[in-house]
């Protein structure tokens, strides 16, 4: 299983600093509305 992680380095560590999305589609929808130039990286979830 993987998740998609977005880190906003212009924000202080907290809720606005990092976003974790369960799917690429969820990330794409968020980016369209909040940060069209941003991107997320895929990260494997350790079980």
Spatial contact of 34 and 15, defined as CB atoms under 8 Å apart: no
Is the model's pLDDT at 14 over the cut of 90?
no
Tell me the pTM.
Answer: 0.80
- pLDDT category, 9, cuts 50, 70, 90? confident
Is the pLDDT reported for residue 16 higher than 90?
A: no
Instruction: Please indicate whether residue 2 or residue 8 has the higher confidence score (pLDDT).
Output: 2
Domain boundaries of the chain, sorted by first residue: 2-44
**Does residue 41 carry a pLDDT above 90?**
yes
pLDDT per residue as tens digits for the range 17-32: 899 999 999 999 999 9
Task: Classify strands 41-44 and 18-21 as parallel, antiparallel or unpaired.
Answer: unpaired
């Amino acid at each position: 299983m993987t998740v998609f992680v977005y880190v906003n380095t212009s924000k202080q560590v907290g809720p606005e600093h990092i976003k974790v999305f369960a799917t690429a589609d969820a990330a794409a929808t968020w980016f369209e509305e909040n940060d069209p130039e941003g991107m997320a990286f895929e990260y494997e979830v350790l079980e």
